[in-house]
Amino acid sequence: MDRTVKLMVSDILHQANDLDCNLSLKRVENEGYIFGNEKKTRVVAVGLLNILNEEDEEEAVIGAFTIDVSKYKWADAEGFSQDQMIDDLRGEIFNLIGVDEVLDYLCHKI
């Protein structure tokens, strides 16, 4: 895991603490972290994403995406695999957000 991701996660936790916003944090294997707000109504994954650059080469960048918990649970109950959820239901379950928007998304209504 990239040291920069760990620093960013630590920074988000410190900022949330300053706002009295209680976040849960779960490590996802070697891929990143999942944040949840206190009520577990908003979830964000943060980690390294492989994005195609201008030369059509994969480049690892720090990214974040929201997870629609109710749609994720539905897809899981329907038997969708993780890959199917990502490939087929990306815009419904997972939505990219800027890493600078993570704290606002989890701690405030934006």
DSSP 8-state symbol, 108: S
H or E stretch covering 3? helix 3-18
**pLDDT tens string for the chain (110 positions)?**
578 889 999 999 999 999 999 999 999 877 789 999 988 789 999 998 888 888 999 888 889 999 998 998 999 999 998 888 888 888 899 999 999 999 999 998 65
Indicate the pTM of the whole model: 0.82
Query: How far is residue 26's CA from residue 36's CA, in Å, rounded to a whole number?
Result: 9
